[in-house]
Amino acid sequence: MKSKPTPFFSSSAFMFFWMLFVVVSSTQSLFSQQINPKILEFNQICAGGPHPTKPGEVFNEYQASFSISGFASDVTFKVELSDATGSFTTPISTTNLPPLTTTPPDSATDKTLVFGIPTNLVGSNAYRLRVTSSTGVSSTPFTIKGTVSTKSFSAYYKAYNDSFAINNNLPSVSFCIGGSVTLTIYNPTPSIPNSSPANYPQLQYNWYKDDALISGQTSSSLVVSTPGVYYAKLDYGLCSDDNFRSQGVTVTSSSGASAAIVSSAGNPFCSSLGNTTLSVTAGNSYVWKKDNTVIAGAITQNYQTSLPGVYTCDVDFGGCKSTGTIDLKVLTTNSTISGVDLDKVNNIVEGETINATITSNATAPSYQWFLEGVAIPGADKNFIDITAQGKYKGVVTQNTGCNISDEFPFEVSFKVNFNVPKIPNIVTPNGDGANDTWVIPDNYLAGTNTHIVILSSLGEIVFETDSYDNYNGWPQTAIEFNNFNPVYYYIITPTGGSAKKGSITLVK
């Protein structure tokens, strides 16, 4: 009897080796994808000025050439900027532009991208550039023109390109000996449209005294306590232009009295008894302000008020000015509340009780608790046990001497088991009660020791916590929408696990 010949490979063995071949081939294909940057045609980016060949347009167009290998024909590429420190941890997107007349045609292996930088870019001398493919492959940073291996370069968007003024466009200012004066970028907008760099908060400045740079002063204002001639220049790094500067302001010091403000009813004062009179040291002229806002018509030595706040009075002593300040406060019951949080919603399980207690130093205080603006019958003690959700308020009143009261509003809500299966990438903070905040899976919440960071599109940290709470999630304050849906980026790092990264788009 003849035995049947045994095949060298069984069908199952054949399938195993075939699948192994496919996996290895795919892996080798991915690793064979390469992007090789060529030397840039520029050594710095100075965008935002007038276009040299297109009158009336703003210049913001640059080219980056590179060669590729191992990519399919449908793969796309984009140019990315590092952050202002040169890191690509949170890269900055650029804007794709159509080819220029000088742009070489693309081939299967050689590409050139035309791009523009963000108009709100924070200037820096440490930016770097790379190209990333739609398959997730990134190049090494580009080398800049005229160097062998330098990768970092200056990048600035010159949002304002003109001279400007400081000190309300006045040529001189004086301060009292021992005092100071603040020089500020003058902004006559909207009376004179587009008239000041102060309309662009991302811009930085260099301040000078007697033609010498003042180290470390880059903001839109400068506190001066020594005489001299001061001026400011727009700091566009290596893209700076000496024409983009302010006038010189001569600052002098003079001897004279120092202004001081006193309250006739004391400080703090009892507002229920009427106004208190604020009086400032006598001078030649007076300008009163409350919380840094000029009070219309308040130009005498005295000012009456029943409102708390920070009051100042600019006094001109004749060639010497001084500002008096008083942080005016009203008498309170000096009370506190415990057991509830006033700054966020207090979440309880339905059927659970939460206790709120007011502690007060008021004389013979009385108490009343409210729910949805209506007094709760019998709730006239300094504490209350709460089992229902709603908007509450506790009020403590002192009825002898100075009639004063303090209020403590807070909200109680039943917990909802969100039980979301995955990390969302869209939030609609429009106040409709649905998807107003970023709600994430339970395994990243408080108690899991998970570190969470949310960054703006500029790479700035806007939220960071190790105890994320879905019931009081991000965003916790209103976010302004400027004709576009802002995009943020999250990094979720569980203890002992790998970081998860993604984007969050806010939609109205």
Q: Average pLDDT of 452-461?
A: 94
The stretch 422-430 carries a mean pLDDT of 93
The predicted-structure confidence for 459-469, as pLDDT tens digits, reads as follows: 999 999 999 98
Same fold, 261-328 and 335-414: yes
Per-residue model confidence (pLDDT) at position 30: 53
pLDDT tens digits for range 86-132: 999 999 999 999 999 999 999 999 999 999 999 999 999 999 999 99
Tens digits of residue pLDDT in 244-273? 999 999 988 877 668 899 999 999 999 988
Q: Identify the pLDDT of residue 344.
A: 86
- Count the Cβ atoms, other than its own, within 10 Å of residue 57: 11
Single-letter amino acid code for the residue at 185: I
Could you tell me the fold of the domain covering 261-328? Immunoglobulin-like (2.60.40)
Which H helix or E strand runs over 79? Answer: strand 77-81
Which residue in the block uniquely carries the two structure tokens 């963000």?
Answer: 118
Confidence of residue 24 (pLDDT cuts 50, 70, 90): very low
- Out of 2.40.10, 2.60.40, 1.20.1050, 2.20.28, the CATH code matching 34-157 is 2.60.40
DSSP symbol at 106: P
Residue 150 has pLDDT above 90, yes or no: yes
- Per the CB < 8 A criterion, the answer to whether 442 and 434 are in contact is no
Contact in structure between 380 and 410 (CB atoms under 8 Å): no
The CATH class of the 335-414 domain is mainly beta
CATH of domain 426-506: 2.60.40
Element (H, E) at 30: helix 11-31
Q: Tell the CATH superfamily of the 167-254 domain.
A: Immunoglobulins (2.60.40.10)
Q: How confident is the model at residue 194 (pLDDT cuts 50, 70, 90)?
A: confident
Percent of the chain at pLDDT above 70? 93
Give every CB contact of residue 214 below 8 A, 6+ residues apart in sequence.
206, 207, 208, 222
Q: What is the DSSP string of 446-495?
A: TTS--EEEEE-TTS-EEEEESS--GGG-S--S-----SS--EEEEEEE-T
For residue 149, report the phi and psi dihedrals to the nearest 5 degrees: -145, 10
pLDDT digits (tens, 9 = 90+) for 493-507: 999 889 999 999 999
Across the range 324-352, mean pLDDT stands at 92
Which helix (H) or strand (E) is 36 found in, with range? strand 34-37
What is the pLDDT averaged over residues 405-411? Answer: 95
Residue boundaries of the structural domains of the chain: 34-157, 167-254, 261-328, 335-414, 426-506
Could you identify the residue written with the tokens 């470390």? 216
